[in-house]
Structure 1
């Protein structure tokens, strides 16, 4: 299976809450880093335990916004909504022999960090239009 297919299936199985299916895509000794929260998840079992936790894995739909690939490396941008909060992640995946062996994911909530006032005359607020990034 190509790396992009592995990662596509990963997001599909996360959305379906198919934790056995997710486990089948993660290497036993995989390392997943979350720099925003300063955490490193070492090993398939720990990744599954974190992502399947009831506080983390409720019924959020997963929308894949963008996928970029380069050999064994796949970058995804996804969005998950929960109640009135939108979570977005940019994830950098490394896939070898059909398994995810490492990743670095940047999870945040769009608009969470206030823009500095000094930039007000130089920028405009982001809207819901993603067309500027496609093409």
Structure 2
């Protein structure tokens, strides 16, 4: 399977909470980094546990906003509404031989990091989404 399709299937399976299907796409020794929270997830089992261990068994909406690929590198932007928070992530995935072997994901919530006042004369606010 092409790297772009591997990652597209990953997000689809995460949204469906199909953890066995997600596991099929993640290498056993994959390393996923979350620089915003300063965490590293090492291994397929830990990646599945971190994503599934929230007590929620319902499907979760995952909207794949963008996906781009260049060889083994796939970049995605997704939106995940959860409870009363909207999460956004830009993720850089490395895929080899049909499996995700690594990633660096930047998770945040729109508006979580307010703009400094000194930039007000140079910028305009993004429209509400």
TM range (shorter): over 0.9
CA contact (8 A) 2:16 2:60 kept: no
The CA distance in 2 between the partners of 1:49 and 1:23, in whole Å, is 10
What SS does the aligned partner of 2:46 have?
A: helix
Name the structure 2 match of 1:133: none
What SS does the aligned partner of 2:126 have?
A: coil
Once the 2 structures are TM-superposed, how far is the Cα of residue 83 of structure 1 from its aligned partner?
3.1
What SS does the aligned partner of 2:54 have?
A: coil
The CA distance in 1 between the partners of 2:114 and 2:11, in whole Å, is 30
CA contact (8 A) 1:51 1:57 kept: no
Q: CA RMSD in A?
A: 1.5
CA contact (8 A) 1:50 1:56 kept: no
Structure 1 residues not aligned, in runs of 5+? 130-135
Once the 2 structures are TM-superposed, how far is the Cα of residue 35 of structure 1 from its aligned partner?
0.3
Off by >4 Å, runs of 4+ in structure 1: 55-59
Scaled by the length of structure 2, what TM-score is found?
0.94
The CA distance in 2 between the partners of 1:24 and 1:83, in whole Å, is 28
- Say how many residue pairs are matched: 129
Name the structure 1 match of 2:40: 40
Scaled by the length of structure 1, what TM-score is found?
0.90
